[in-house]
Amino acid sequence: MQLSELGEFGFIESIRRAVGQPPDRVLLGIGDDTAVIDIPGPMVLLVSTDAMVEGRHFRSDWISPREIGHRAAAACMSDIAAMGGTLICLFATVSFPLQWTAEQATELAEGLNQAAGAFDSGLAGGDTTTTDNGLFVDVVAVGEVESDGIWLRDGARPGDLVFVTGTLGDSAGALALLAAQYPQARDEFPALFEALLSPTPRLAEIPALRRTGAVTACIDISDGLVQDAGHIAAASEVVIELSAPDLPVSEQLRGCGGALQRDPLMWAAAGGEDFELLMAVAQENAADIIAAAEETGTRMTQIGRVCEGTGVELRDEDGRTIQIDSGGWNHFRQINH
């Protein structure tokens, strides 16, 4: 069978079955945003790895070495946030194409380290090779969280409300501008390019959000809202009903939709790499989670609810189901919006 037939998630499921029981002291192996490892004391260790490949995740003519480092770090740190965790440090393995200069390589490492520095953390090691092909960066993030307060994907319950931080689709909008070779795109839509090239994972918001004790399930949006909501729905055995008119769309994304004559809803619903947190929250705690986000200056929007059933439903203002061709980004199938 071709990998493209199995799909990225089919492949992950097949490894999960092959591995079976995770090793001793690994409380949670394959299947959530990070693995969870038992250590002495009240905390558990969180470990996640995330790769970025030239030609697949980025093209070197539209991103600088520093931004590549920043972005690779952000994508991996975001998985620590998705578990409600605090970042400890990063490791980075980089395969540099032979034509890269020492200055470019150093900039990339600085980008990685600075991205973690924003959260009082940094690089603690890695590995370096060269390659005949495009740049390859793999980042490992290590974090920690109280063992009795981990935000897993499987805790959403019917009756919970669904919230998301920030705005959705900005990064996908920037990609669409690049694909359309829209002139002066960066000057006209700087926030979209910041979301694409220098995203900020939601680690700074974690302490305030955790204090509420309100989050029942969480995932970071890396593959697109609908697809990632699907992971919570599957793990929690519920249906997640999302309200399209409530999806938080930035002014710049609306402008971008107008400029490219596209509906920004598709970017918000299925564009990847938002690195926002999608959370299920018990109804009685909704006000607390909004107050906690306000405390950090971050937008928090209720975009749906959890009900009995399976899958994800995206509905328009009249309650009709909106079809999304495919759920977002899936490696091997190479579907992107």
Q: Which of residues 81-100 bind Mg ion (CB under 5 A)?
A: 82
Our finding on whether 223 is near Mg ion (CB under 5 A) is no
Q: How far apart are the C-alpha atoms of 170 and 285, rounded to whole Å?
A: 28
Q: Name the β-bridge partners of 125.
A: 91
Among 220, 274, 276, 313, binds Mg ion (CB under 5 A): 220
Report in angstroms how near the CB of residue 18 gets to ligand ADP at its nearest.
Answer: 9
Strand order in the sheet with 239-243: 215-220, 277-281, 161-165, 300-307, 239-243, 311-315
Q: How far apart are the C-alpha atoms of 288 and 246, rounded to whole Å?
A: 19
The residue length of the chain stands at 337
Our finding on whether 33 is near Mg ion (CB under 5 A) is yes
- Alpha-carbon Rg of the chain, whole angstroms? 19
Q: How far apart are the C-alpha atoms of 28 and 34, rounded to whole Å?
A: 8
Binding residues with Mg ion: total (CB under 5 A): 4
Q: Name the β-bridge partners of 316.
A: none
Beta-sheet pairing, 86-97 with 123-131: parallel
Report in angstroms how near the CB of residue 116 gets to Mg ion at its nearest.
Answer: 17
Q: Which is nearer to ligand ADP, 52 or 303 (CB)?
A: 52
- 118 makes contact, choosing from ligand ADP, Mg ion, none, with CB < 5 to 8 Å by partner type, with none
Footprint of ligand ADP (CB under 6 A): 12, 15, 30-33, 50, 79, 222-223
The span from the first CA to the last CA of the chain, in angstroms, equals 26
Our finding on whether 32 is near Mg ion (CB under 5 A) is no
For residue 315, what is the enclosing H or E element? strand 311-315
Q: Which is nearer to ligand ADP, 12 or 179 (CB)?
A: 12
Report in angstroms how near the CB of residue 320 gets to ligand ADP at its nearest.
Answer: 30
Q: Which is nearer to Mg ion, 53 or 322 (CB)?
A: 53
Our finding on whether 274 is near Mg ion (CB under 5 A) is no
Q: How far apart are the C-alpha atoms of 141 and 219, rounded to whole Å?
A: 16
Instruction: Provide the token pair at 333.
Output: 């199938």
Q: Which is nearer to ligand ADP, 6 or 286 (CB)?
A: 6
Beta-sheet pairing, 161-165 with 123-131: unpaired
- 10 makes contact, choosing from Mg ion, ligand ADP, none, with CB < 5 to 8 Å by partner type, with none
Report in angstroms how near the CB of residue 281 gets to Mg ion at its nearest.
Answer: 18
Report in angstroms how near the CB of residue 114 gets to Mg ion at its nearest.
Answer: 22
The span of 90-98, 128-136, 159-167, 219-227 binding Mg ion (CB under 5 A) equals 219-227
Report in angstroms how near the CB of residue 316 gets to ligand ADP at its nearest.
Answer: 28
Instruction: Provide the token pair at 4.
Output: 């493209």
Q: Which is nearer to ligand ADP, 32 or 241 (CB)?
A: 32
Q: How far apart are the C-alpha atoms of 60 and 337, rounded to whole Å?
A: 20
DSSP string, 94-123: EEEETT--HHHHHHHHHHHHHHHHTTT--E
Q: Which is nearer to Mg ion, 79 or 205 (CB)?
A: 79
The span of 32-40, 50-58, 143-151, 307-315 binding Mg ion (CB under 5 A) equals 32-40
Binding site for Mg ion (CB under 5 A): 33, 79, 82, 220
